[in-house]
Amino acid sequence: MNNPFRVRGHGHVDPDTTLSFTFDGRTYTGHPGDTLASALLANGVHHVADSIKYGRPRGVLAAGAEEPNALVQIEAPFPEPMLTATTVELYEGLVARGLSGQGRLSDRPDPARYDTLHAHCDLLVVGAGPAGLAATLTAARSGARVILVDELPQPGGSLLGSQELLDGAPATTWAGDVIAELGTCADVQVLRRTTAFGHYDDGLVLALEKRTDHLGAAAPAHVSRQRIWRIRARQVVHATGAHERPVAFDDNDRPGIMLAGSARTYLNRFGVLPGRRGVVFTTNDSAYPAALELAEAGVRIAAVVDAREEVPEHWRTACEERGIDLRAGHVVTGTSGTGRVSRAHVAAFAQGRLGDRRGVDCDLLLVSGGWNPAVALFSQARGALRYDAEAGAFVPAQPLDTVRTAGSAGGTFTLSGCLADGADAARRALAAIGGTGRAVSLPATVPLPATVPLSDGAPAQVLWRVPSPRDGQDGTHQFVDLQRDALVSDVLRATGAGLRSVEHVKRYTTIGTAHDQGRTSGVMTSGIVAEALGVDIADLGTTRFRPPVVPVAFAALAGRNRGELFDPVRVTALHPWHVEHGALFENVGQWKRPWYYPGAGETMEEAVLRESRAARTGVALMDGSTLGKIDVQGPDAGVLLDRLYTNVMSTLEVGRIRYGVMCGVDGMVVDDGTVIRVAEQEFLLTTTTGNAAKVLEWMEEWLQTEWPGLRVHLTSVTEHWATIPLVGPRSRDVLALVAPGLDVGNDAFPFMSWRDATVAGVAARVCRISFSGELAYEINVPAWYGIGVWEALLAAGDAFGITPYGTETMHVLRAEKAYPVIGQDTDGTVTPQDLGMSWVVSGKKPDFVGKRSFTRAENRRDDRKRLVGLLPADERVLLPEGAQIIATSGIPEPPVPMLGHVTSSYRSAALGRTFALALVRSGTERIGDTLYVPLDGRTVPVTVTDPVLFDQEGTRRDG
């Protein structure tokens, strides 16, 4: 070993293997089992970074996730910002640097994989310390399905940082035995390096497993780096332990100032001495084992400063035996040092007054202000907290039906108590779900008093801050939140400004908002606020705990849902052909639809003009398979459709097609589409592509909840069919070629009818409907045959210049005819009448959904917005969709009276100019008027027209 601060005979690192790492440009060594923080301390490196606001040097305060200071940026093997050095496991080749508050995300894509697993269990135990292990063992031996998660690479939790004995052997031996036994239980899963970071409703706990982080560059590429576990547990035991909190005093932020229990962990878990000459400042018993164990291991303990007048006799004796200067009734009032603490200032403290100060030289100042149970998860689970005046901490008030705490997370601080509490929590949890927890014999602890026990003696003194010996006592040098550089004076400024709630103080000061969620600062803040306001901290409470408990990378949350897997992609049977022929795609819902097919060197504008010219003058075809299709079957199918569509569907003859509109009860258009009568008791209706699921749900809602007596079944058949609109004056010629058995004459096969036919050798349903105003056929074949029929149509149409077109051309063609797209030209405030489609509203039916609302006063207003056409005076100007419409050429002072907005806007090959559809107040009455569209700081004059701009007489649909 060449680590100057490593001691033999302590710790669980592997001293025979050396790992090389780089920190802030210098190379060091450590061992497997180290964290980055322990390896730095083993090399005597305390200064990790300078603070974000005041640029003060900061070191390592803690040994776990509660660390507020030691933020690092990993540079290699892959950049990752904002990790705590205390939780980064050391690996060969690690390159890191200290961070002043902010890191840097990688500018390259993360090559690692992340994934998610679901798991279910009877009992989830969070934490593998003494309480968690006892709970898991109890439940496992009772045959329950148990999951145990723990953030560390090895089991034991707090036992790893102590020298406790269980059954006369090191406590970690017992922990290892328990884990070995759990490994033999088929229904028990132990997840190491796994942190439960959120506790949600109904026993859902999210946990982050770091699977290969500790392997660095040696991580196998096929194993996911991190995994989110979504665990559903019938019962949960939080054995999450407790976090030590500091006490605020002047200059309490220097490197070398450390929590006492954390220093004990560095010795016992890592074999690291955090200094050579220490002063211990405590308000309770728990710092004594730290002082004594470090003294045994070679740290010169210059003084133990105990704020209490009364110190238990066994601690006095133990200090005396080791020649440690114990100063009861004293406090540390401040520190000196450049770069690292070099002296602690100690003074007597009684009745709130400080005595004379004396300096004690040291390179390590250990602090213990008591312990805060780690109740974040319990609080997230909506468990209530209460203030325990003796411990000076917030503890769970009572267990929930499905969630309970065990061990120090519940305020039990002795080892024997934690073991018993864990076993008891498991038995209660099993009883709550009708099981029985078997009694488990727990290992024997060393009874008190003994030389080195865990705290169990005199009551602690609750001390949030030491009065400042500086003038004014305003705490301008007393740090509360080290990461946020927030001071006691910031808290006092907040209360001085009138803030009375810790939630407000948190937001005013930013205390508790850093990566560590205020583990070392939150309760202290409540204490200082309570003192400043003269209220009881029990009434004041603490800030609300919110997930995640520890920072979680977005990459882990995203898991496999990245790139192509981010959202499901739906493609039609014809999709490969579109890709092969250079189509550009548009997302419509989850569908990929061909947008247009650019020829060589063609712009989108040129391509769309070419495609629409083909449809208006020759023949063109598109992929319409994404249209929603709902099969409606049953004796009452016609009755249901009559009640949901504004027009009559039950009178439709088999073989015929009708266009229909559905409205909500408010009379506003929900969707439109065609309805074909397949058979006496079967209809097939189409919906807008993006609306298919919504329409099906809408119909089911009425069928199931309002008219359950109707004998009708609804089935989505969208993906069963490939649908190919064949459009244009020459479409009849093309169809005749591929369907020689079909009489395509206008009389034999009139508009709005359908025929069964053989098309290109495939049984097809051909519908004569048109979404372009041209002569058109919609050819439907089973999806499997889609490409074959599509290619046959292309071959047959070759002589006529058949042209595939995309959604953009489809929109131009339909807008020229003022066929609205629901959701684009409507927005949930538009009636069929507003769209100029009174003809689709039946006057004969006594009622249908929406009818009553048509006679509401609001619906009868004559200044409703109506669908109209707009022709810009400059026929080259393309109005942006969504543009507002005003009455004057100059823009008046706000508020500007808005008359409506542009809903669709295109360039038209047929019209030789741009045009738009718009919803305009009293639009029908304004036809012929000039209105204005503000655009790029000027206004564009537009003429209001009838919405149908092409073939108003409808002469083209029959060819």
Rounded to whole angstroms, the Cα distance separating 298 from 305 reads 19
Rounded to whole angstroms, the Cα distance separating 106 from 71 reads 17
Among 2, 27, 441, 705, binds another protein (CB under 8 A): 705
As measured in angstroms, the least distance from the Cβ of 698 to another protein is 11
- The yes or no reply on residue 654 touching another protein (CB under 8 A) is no
- The yes or no reply on residue 706 touching another protein (CB under 8 A) is yes
As measured in angstroms, the least distance from the Cβ of 65 to another protein is 22
- The yes or no reply on residue 568 touching another protein (CB under 8 A) is no
- The yes or no reply on residue 400 touching another protein (CB under 8 A) is yes
Provide the token pair at 139: 């439940």
Among 533, 665, 873, 896, binds another protein (CB under 8 A): 665
Rounded to whole angstroms, the Cα distance separating 768 from 657 reads 8
Give the type of residue at 853.
Answer: S
Q: Which of residues 531-550 bind another protein (CB under 8 A)?
A: 544
Comparing CB distances to another protein, the nearer of 144 and 403 is: 403
Rounded to whole angstroms, the Cα distance separating 528 from 521 reads 10
Comparing CB distances to another protein, the nearer of 202 and 580 is: 202
Rounded to whole angstroms, the Cα distance separating 71 from 93 reads 19
Rounded to whole angstroms, the Cα distance separating 45 from 59 reads 8
- The yes or no reply on residue 631 touching another protein (CB under 8 A) is no
Comparing CB distances to another protein, the nearer of 124 and 657 is: 124
Q: Which of residues 220-249 bind another protein (CB under 8 A)?
A: 232
- The yes or no reply on residue 154 touching another protein (CB under 8 A) is no
Comparing CB distances to another protein, the nearer of 126 and 949 is: 126
Q: Label residue 887 left, alpha or beta by phi (over 0 means left) and psi (-120 to 50 means alpha).
A: alpha
**Cis status, amide bond into 548, omega within 30 of 0:** yes
As measured in angstroms, the least distance from the Cβ of 941 to another protein is 39
Comparing CB distances to another protein, the nearer of 379 and 905 is: 379
Comparing CB distances to another protein, the nearer of 389 and 665 is: 665
Per DSSP, 185 falls in state -
- The yes or no reply on residue 633 touching another protein (CB under 8 A) is no
Q: Which of residues 194-213 bind another protein (CB under 8 A)?
A: 200-202, 204
* Whether the Cβ atoms of residue 800 and residue 619 lie closer than 8 Å to each other: yes
As measured in angstroms, the least distance from the Cβ of 182 to another protein is 28
C-alpha Rg value of the chain to the nearest Å: 38
Among 701, 756, 791, 874, binds another protein (CB under 8 A): 701
Rounded to whole angstroms, the Cα distance separating 546 from 381 reads 10
Which helix (H) or strand (E) segment holds residue 303: the answer is strand 300-306
Q: 759: helix, coil or strand?
A: strand
**Closest Cα to residue 440, out of 132, 140, 128, 180?**
140
Q: Write phi, then psi, for 838 (nearest 5 degrees).
A: -55, -25
Comparing CB distances to another protein, the nearer of 385 and 752 is: 385
Comparing CB distances to another protein, the nearer of 162 and 380 is: 380
Burial pattern 781-817, b for ≥16 Cβ within 10 A else e, equals bebebbbbbbebbbebbeebebbbbbbbbbbbbbbbb
How many residues bind another protein (CB under 8 A)? The answer is: 30
* Whether the Cβ atoms of residue 213 and residue 166 lie closer than 8 Å to each other: no
Q: 255: helix, coil or strand?
A: coil
Q: Which of residues 816-875 bind another protein (CB under 8 A)?
A: 847, 851-853, 856-857
Comparing CB distances to another protein, the nearer of 431 and 799 is: 431
- The yes or no reply on residue 697 touching another protein (CB under 8 A) is yes
Q: List beta partners, residue 327.
A: 305
Name residues whose C-beta falls within 8 Å of residue 170's C-beta, 6 or more positions apart in sequence: 163, 164
For 338, other C-beta atoms within 10 Å of its C-beta total 8
Comparing CB distances to another protein, the nearer of 436 and 704 is: 704
As measured in angstroms, the least distance from the Cβ of 720 to another protein is 18
Among 223, 310, 339, 382, binds another protein (CB under 8 A): 382
As measured in angstroms, the least distance from the Cβ of 382 to another protein is 4
Rounded to whole angstroms, the Cα distance separating 483 from 501 reads 22
- The yes or no reply on residue 384 touching another protein (CB under 8 A) is yes
As measured in angstroms, the least distance from the Cβ of 842 to another protein is 15
As measured in angstroms, the least distance from the Cβ of 191 to another protein is 20
Among 167, 187, 310, 700, binds another protein (CB under 8 A): 700
Site residues, another protein (CB under 8 A): 200-202, 204, 232, 379, 382-385, 397, 400-402, 544, 665-666, 697, 700-701, 704-706, 708, 847, 851-853, 856-857
